[in-house]
Structure 1
């Protein structure tokens, strides 16, 4: 007999405004407890220093968390020039501190050009990437360093929003980038290119895939609802599961085809898209999951949500 899960069968995506100085997993566990949810998972870690958009998947939404993990991201960040740290952000030990008041706003603007478009990045030792099963940041905290291969990422937007002069100038930047981009690496590489060093002193994620900051909710707001046991209001804050898949085309199935798909059987769909995968819906508009074409041109289920 299968073990019965504790908690409520909650399904959907919570766009959480992650607080500073807390890990993504800590935030996940608190949100899961507030919702008293049976199952939950996050969609890629934000550093403790970072705040902002952290989509959390509940229940059936966890089946599609990979799509948010692979989605483009957007950030606002502050880089402090003239100071380098072991981790590339404000949490790390200061390695060097040399006044950089000679670095002008014009120099920064000119140097940003080389960090737009397709660039190579070497992941930080303080990233969550794994080496022989161990996250790099755990090795780094032991004083160890291993060779990392550079990775190609896309920087779609890199704008200078503010420049504050001083002994250690601060610059505010807005970044839109592909998955796997490390903002701390941009800061470190920019500092190296300017010849003064730099680190991330503030990081706020403003977007993850289709989700943006205006949709986000804080843990404090959630706790107020939980204290009132307002579970209907909590559930109303969840985004539909298929919102994570907004980039995929949609296919509507007939009632008969839905029955076959639910049994794992392929069906004929006139004018089915040739995309590698697509969203499946019933004629009533219910989201069923993801499908794909088989070698015979039939639509087969790839990943379905559990329905009553």
Structure 2
């Protein structure tokens, strides 16, 4: 089976648990996902099967959309509700206006320090493994982009909460944004709920719950064709001779008014299937990855 699934991951399990479930249901080992969701989080998890796993690098960078809730006044070691509370501070004085002003500081291109409880690797080991051993390493800030960050509503109290929607680049830790907002507010904060509502054109409304996938037939019937999974990329159907050159690793001269320098292009075959992914570095189109799916 070659294709992509839009799975609604439930809260309380890991993204790898979803992959294990799909492997058991489908009987297929070659399955991967295009962007981890924390155990606390639910929502869209794009899973690729068979030859479509080769498309992960072109799906993963898509803009992520989330809806969630931040609780102010408590800081946790994981920056979300799954962690241990480290500090408690009075937060009843916070207002909606103050929280919205703080949120404005996170819109645009910013630098974010990844959390210790993350799957990032340092010297071959995942940071969360080191964190569980009580170790804390210095992490270099990484650039991220927040395209939209809206505080929807605010519930005052001893530990006030704020519901929000955010659109951000791949690699953004939303729980770190919650944590950092708490630091700016001077009271601490952590994420208590998160739903990923979209990954690019993969929408939550079109996702299927994990329990839907019970056997190979239910998996096969839900597969999105590879060509549709990368519909955000421009397509090009070359002449047979040019296609053969690309499939054998050679460059071809090509151009299109919709292409931008450095962009990836889906090169298709006669049956409208993906032959390969190429990159346009004018005036040449250079093969990057053969797909044949």
TM over 0.5: yes
Give, in whole Å, the separation in 1 of the partners of 2:155 and 2:260. 51
CA RMSD of aligned residues (A): 2.1
Q: How does 1:1-308 map to 2 (within 5 A)?
A: 10-223=1-214, 226=215, 231=217, 233-267=218-252, 269=254, 271=256, 273=259, 275-276=261-262, 277-293=264-280, 297-306=283-292
CA distance in 1, matches of 2:173, 2:64: 11
Q: 1:124/1:293 Cα in 2 relative to 1: closer, same or farther (>3 Å)?
A: closer
Q: Could you tell me which residue of structure 2 aligns to residue 7 of structure 1?
A: none
Change (3 A) 1:117 1:271: closer
* Inter-partner Cα distance in structure 2 for 1:268 and 1:107: 55
- Residue 55 (structure 1) shift: 0.6
Superposed CA deviations along residues 34-62 of structure 1, whole A, max 9, x for unmatched, are 12224111123211111111111101111
Whether the 8 Å CA contact 1:291–1:299 is kept in 2: the answer is: yes
Tell me which residue corresponds to 1:5: none
Question: Deviation string for 1:56-115 (max 9, x for gaps)?
Answer: 110111111112222221111110011111111001111112231111111111221111
Residues 4-60 of structure 1: per-residue CA shift (max 9 Å, x gap):
xxxxxx111111111111111111111121122241111232111111111111011
Q: Counterpart of 2:105 in 1: which secondary structure?
A: helix
How far is 1:158 from its partner?
A: 0.3
Q: Label 1:266 to 1:52 Cα distance change in 2 as closer, same or farther (>3 A).
A: same
Structure 1 unpaired stretches of 5+:
1-9
CA contact (8 A) 1:254 1:282 kept: no
TM normalised by structure 1 equals 0.87
Q: Quick one: structure 1 residues 192 and 172, their matched pair in 2 at CA, closer, same or farther if it must change by over 3 Å?
A: same
Distance 1:52 1:300 in 2: 36
The one-character-per-residue Cα deviations of 1:183-213 (angstroms, maximum 9, x if unpaired) are 1111111111111110000111111232111
TM-superposed CA distance for 1:306, in Å, is: 3.3
How far did residue 270 of structure 1 move?
6.5
Which protein shows a greater Rg?
Answer: 1
SS in structure 1 at match of 2:11: coil
Specify whether residues 94 and 14 from structure 1 end up closer, same or farther in structure 2 by C-alpha distance, changes over 3 A only.
Answer: same
When residues 90 and 246 of structure 1 are mapped into structure 2, their CA distance, relative to the original with a 3 A threshold, is same
Tell me if structure 2 keeps the 8 A contact 1:67–1:244.
no
The answer to whether the 8 A contact 1:210-1:243 is kept is no
CA distance in structure 2 between the partners assigned to 1:269 and 1:283 by the alignment = 18
Give the Cα separation in 2 of the matches to 1:63 and 1:101.
50
Aligned residues: 291
Structure 2 residues not aligned, in runs of 5+: none
Moved more, 141-150 or 277-286: 277-286
Using a 3 Å threshold, how does the CA distance of structure 1 residues 269 and 188 change in structure 2: closer, same or farther? closer
Greater shift, 237-246 or 168-177, is seen at 237-246
CA positional deviation for 1:259:
4.1
